[in-house]
């Protein structure tokens, strides 16, 4: 008997099907009046409101459906960040600078390359979600020059940034925003004298960075790597120039020092990218109105343009200004597909957010947990699982914590667990959740990069195929994260300066 051929749904069709599924669910849920209660801190007090699922097939919903796509796509931040990142990586590759920098690293053992990729991905969490867009295309190019499979590099980079989003060597913008929400949840109803410290989780974050990098290397080498089919490797004829590399490195150091000077307060002409209306340095650097967050991507592009221009001119890989101009677009080759995916995914995500399906689902989970009488390890494990489940429909870190923190922070404080450790548990679970949902925009972007470097007809890149490919690896990462969190709690190790897991 002939085996039936399985139907492979391409990512665009899958996204469209998911979008229609959301629309149908919103219609049915709205008809039955399904809602949830969300508690938020508003003007210094706790306020509980009823959130209902809105019907996208209603008159109001259809008006949103037809009128919002252009505006949504135009203001879709990942799109702008992606374009900036691709220009920076493009000129680095076209000038030959990346070839000169990374080809000598071919002697590195595969395990070392995987470790470094994971480590860089985790540390890039300092940049927030921009880390996904910067690291994935850059690692793909590096793997090419190392003679390795770029598709494996992209998957490893995605896992590094996503699974390590709650780790890192220093806190990031999301950590700061989470901390403000944590402080609100504590001071509004439990302890008005509580002070938020941005460094409160730094010991645990740093330890998790190395643990995840080491164990993650073993996981990827043994579980993921054998499942990724080898792609055809491409070579170029770009010239390697030692003189060009030296001068571009000198330029890089000078530009980096200038960049650092823009975020140092108190010196003559310094602090250009700081919000000088704030008192603490953390607020100046990472506050809502601080220029640094939005400026980083553009600064990176400027640095890459200058360094690559210098190298390209000396090496003669860029013979004139036209070569330089065209070089900024090289990495856009075979990547028009990504803009199609981003258009449909931006529409899907905007509809999901408009209908409130994720918010209501999340409120149910938080309400369920608030009624449990667990303490200690059972409470920690339950929260860990709840946050992962929330991430299926709410990948955004801040949005989840806005819903969860007003309930979970007091709940954990009653169980003698500090707010800072509760936030660390949340970040760990949020990291895992980002790797298992098709509603996470950077997962969709990863699919496009995989397709770009997919040179074999037998390799079919699909949404659920990729999720299935990553699932065993993500599950093991989940266990590792859970062991880190529970182990830290049992041993009572300090989370950061003067901060412990228990009160």
pLDDT value of residue 234 = 61
pLDDT tens for 162-192 read 999 999 988 887 888 899 899 999 998 788 8
Residue 430 CA, distance from chain mean position: 10
Residue with tokens 């219609």: 27
Between CA 365 and CA 501, with CA 419 as vertex, the angle to 5 degrees is 110
Concatenate the DSSP letters of all residues of 72-121 into one string.
Answer: HHHT-HHHHHHHHHHHHHHHHHHTTHHHHHHGGGGGS-HHHHHHHHHHHH
Q: Which two tokens stand for residue 376?
A: 């200690």
Statement: residue 46 has pLDDT above 90: no
Torsion angle (degrees, nearest 10) of CA 291, 293, 297, 300: 80
Alpha-carbon span 22 to 16, nearest angstrom: 10
Alpha-carbon span 395 to 431, nearest angstrom: 10
Select the more confidently predicted residue: 276 or 427.
Answer: 427
pLDDT tens for 449-463 read 998 888 766 678 899
Select the more confidently predicted residue: 338 or 480.
Answer: 480
Coil, strand or helix: which one is 165?
coil
Alpha-carbon span 293 to 274, nearest angstrom: 10
Of the ranges 143-147, 289-293, 296-300, which one carries the lowest mean pLDDT score?
A: 289-293
pLDDT tens for 359-391 read 999 999 999 998 888 899 999 999 999 999 999
pLDDT value of residue 417 = 95
Indicate the pLDDT class of residue 349, thresholds 50, 70 and 90: very high
DSSP secondary structure code for residue 330 in this structure: G
Q: Which two tokens stand for residue 351?
A: 């509809």
Statement: residue 1 has pLDDT above 50: no
pLDDT value of residue 228 = 87
Coil, strand or helix: which one is 124?
helix
This prediction has a pTM of 0.93
Indicate the pLDDT class of residue 288, thresholds 50, 70 and 90: confident
Alpha-carbon span 472 to 226, nearest angstrom: 13
φ, ψ of residue 14 to 5 degrees: the values are -60, -45
Indicate the pLDDT class of residue 63, thresholds 50, 70 and 90: very high
Indicate the pLDDT class of residue 296, thresholds 50, 70 and 90: confident
Statement: residue 4 has pLDDT above 60: no
Statement: residue 130 has pLDDT above 90: no
Alpha-carbon span 445 to 134, nearest angstrom: 12
Indicate the pLDDT class of residue 152, thresholds 50, 70 and 90: very high
Q: Mean of the per-residue pLDDT values for the chain?
A: 91
Of the ranges 152-161, 266-275, 351-360, 382-391, which one carries the lowest mean pLDDT score?
A: 266-275
| Percent of the chain scoring above 90 in pLDDT | 69
Statement: residue 207 has pLDDT above 90: yes
């Amino acid at each position: 008997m002939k085996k039936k051929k399985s139907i492979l749904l391409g990512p665009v069709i899958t996204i469209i099907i998911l979008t229609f599924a959301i629309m149908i669910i919103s219609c049915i849920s709205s008809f039955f009046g399904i809602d949830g209660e969300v508690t938020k801190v508003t003007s210094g007090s706790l306020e509980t409101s009823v959130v209902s699922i809105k019907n996208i097939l209603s008159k109001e919903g259809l008006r949103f459906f037809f009128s919002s796509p252009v505006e949504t796509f135009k203001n879709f931040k990942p799109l702008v960040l992606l374009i900036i990142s691709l220009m920076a990586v493009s000129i680095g590759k076209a000038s030959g600078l990346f070839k000169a920098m990374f080809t000598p690293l071919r002697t590195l053992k595969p395990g070392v390359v995987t470790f470094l990729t994971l480590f860089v991905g985790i540390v890039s969490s300092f940049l927030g979600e921009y880390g996904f867009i910067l690291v994935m295309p850059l690692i793909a190019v590096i793997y090419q020059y190392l003679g390795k499979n770029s598709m494996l590099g992209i998957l490893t980079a995605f896992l590094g940034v996503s699974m390590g989003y709650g780790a890192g060597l220093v806190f990031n913008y999301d950590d700061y925003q989470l901390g403000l929400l944590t402080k609100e949840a504590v001071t509004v109803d439990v302890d008005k004298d509580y002070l938020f410290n941005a460094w409160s989780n730094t010991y645990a974050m740093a330890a998790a960075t190395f643990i995840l990098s080491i164990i993650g290397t073993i996981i990827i080498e043994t579980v993921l790597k054998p499942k990724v089919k080898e792609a055809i490797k491409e070579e170029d004829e770009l010239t390697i120039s030692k003189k060009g590399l030296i001068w571009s490195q000198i330029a890089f150091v000078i530009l980096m020092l200038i960049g650092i000077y823009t975020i140092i307060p108190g010196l003559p002409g310094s602090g250009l990218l700081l919000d000088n209306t704030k008192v603490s340095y953390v607020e100046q650097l990472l506050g809502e109105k601080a220029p640094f967050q939005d400026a980083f991507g553009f600064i990176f592009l400027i640095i890459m343009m200058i360094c690559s221009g210098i190298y390209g001119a000396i090496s003669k890989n860029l013979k004139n200004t036209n070569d330089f101009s065209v070089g900024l677009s090289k990495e856009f080759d075979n990547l028009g597909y990504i803009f199609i995916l981003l258009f449909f995914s931006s529409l899907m995500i905007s509809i999901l957010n408009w209908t409130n399906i994720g918010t209501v689902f999340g409120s149910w989970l938080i309400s369920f947990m608030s009624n449990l009488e667990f303490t200690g390890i059972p409470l920690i494990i339950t929260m860990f699982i709840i946050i992962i489940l929330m991430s299926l429909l709410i990948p955004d870190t801040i949005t989840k914590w806005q819903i969860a923190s007003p309930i979970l922070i007091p709940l954990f404080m009653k169980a003698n667990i500090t707010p800072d450790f509760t936030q660390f548990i949340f970040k760990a679970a949020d990291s895992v959740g980002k790797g298992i949902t098709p509603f996470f925009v950077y997962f969709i972007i990863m699919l496009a990069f995989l397709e770009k470097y997919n040179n074999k007809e037998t390799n079919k890149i699909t949404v659920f195929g990729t999720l299935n490919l990553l699932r065993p690896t993500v599950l093991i990462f989940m266990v590792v994260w859970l062991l880190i969190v529970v182990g830290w709690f049992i041993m009572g190790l300090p989370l950061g300066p003067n901060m412990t897991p228990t009160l």
